[in-house]
Amino acid sequence: MRVHILGSAAGGGFPQWNCNCFNCAGLRTGSIRAKPRTQCSVAISADGSRWLLLNASPDLRSQIFSFPDLLPKGGARGSAIDAVLLSDAELDHISGLLSLREAQPIRLYCTSRVFDWVFASNPVFGALNSPEKLRVTTVEDRKAESIGCGLGVEAIFVSGKVPTYVKNPPANCDGAAVGYKLIDRATGSSLLYVPAIKQIDERFIAAAAACDCLLFDGSFWSDNEMEIRGVGTRTASAMGHKPISGPSGSLAQLGGLRIRKIYTHVNNTNPILDEDSAERREIEQARWQVAEDGMDFTV
């Protein structure tokens, strides 16, 4: 199974267009050692010709051109993108669908909750909800199924937040956020993709331990990172993300996993983007990697 990181930043990318935090200013001036990143999306293929997208970021059009494997191979029109899997209904994970509106029908996978928020209640995205544009399959918690292209998929419901544009959400918001376990049917190798998660429990740890590779939510180093960086007061947990550091952070909670671990969906304020920072050294010593745009590997 080949994995290509199209984008590895959280919403807004890095540097963020309206941000002058230490990281963004440092990248622009060259005073820190860091790489620019577009907003988070991943392409996966088992056969090298048909690709699945994990989320569709606002940067998807430029990401497609940055990775020629996704471009049409023949005929007047076409696409190597066979399906899109949505992990949640956040704008930075769904906006790229609008860039796919001219394509032949693409298969879309999401929870029924995400479908209702994105398509049933939204006239802009609702315009995509036709068999000529999208063929939608709703996923259920821990139900494994074949997705074609030599891959299997299993959705793992995780704790997350309701998008801010959803008014009067129901009390039960199961399915607001999921992780996707992708399995190569030929080799049995597997990858778990979780760009946003609010809490880590034993059920999740067991699911991650059964995989070969984990692409995990690396949005924030600390819960109060936005305040520390002087760009806001909202906490990581309020935005639906488990911070990396601290006794209950992901670095500690997932430290026992003996698999390949990669932080992705990294917010522009996160000090791990600075390749010379103490925080970057700490996660690398713990055998984590930091995803970057264009990163390409097999599982």
Residue 140 and residue 178: Cα distance in Å, rounded?
10
The one-letter code for the residue type at 241 is H
> pTM of the full predicted structure?
0.97
If phi over 0 gives left and psi between -120 and 50 gives alpha, with beta otherwise, what is residue 224? Answer: alpha
Contact 185, 90 (CB under 8 A): no
Smallest Cα–Cα separation from 3: which of 206, 192, 138?
A: 192
More confident residue, 64 or 102: 64
- What distance in Å separates the CA atoms of residue 24 and residue 22, rounded to the nearest whole number? 6
Structure tokens at 50: 């048909």
DSSP letter for each residue of 221-275? SSTTHHHHTTS----TGGGT---SSSTTSHHHHTTT--SEEEEESB-TT-GGGST
Confidence of residue 103 (pLDDT cuts 50, 70, 90): low
Distances (CA, A) of 91 to 56, 95, 119, 221: 9, 6, 12, 22
Mean pLDDT of 270-290: 98
User: What is the rounded average pLDDT of the residues 243-265?
Assistant: 98
DSSP labels, 167-209:
-S--S--TTSEEEEEEEETTT--EEEEES--S---HHHHHHHH
Residues 6+ apart with CB under 8 A from 232: 226
Per-residue pLDDT, averaged over 26-34, amounts to 98
Lowest mean pLDDT among 142-151, 209-218, 258-267: 142-151
* Residue % of the chain over a pLDDT of 70: 100
Please give the mean pLDDT across all residues of the chain.
Answer: 96
Res 293: pLDDT? 98
Model confidence at 280: pLDDT above 70 = yes
The arithmetic mean of pLDDT across residues 135-156, rounded, is 94
Instruction: Give dist(CA 265, CA 153) in Å, integer.
Output: 21
**What is the band of 121 on the pLDDT scale with cuts at 50, 70, 90?**
confident
| The pLDDT value given to residue 147 | 92
Most confident of 19-33, 67-81, 126-140: 19-33
Residue 289 has pLDDT above 90, yes or no: yes
pLDDT on residue 256: 97
What is the amino acid identity at position 38? T
Angstrom distance (rounded) from CA 287 to CA 133: 42
Does 227 score more than 90 pLDDT?
yes
pLDDT score, position 101? 85
Q: In the prediction, which pLDDT does 74 show?
A: 79
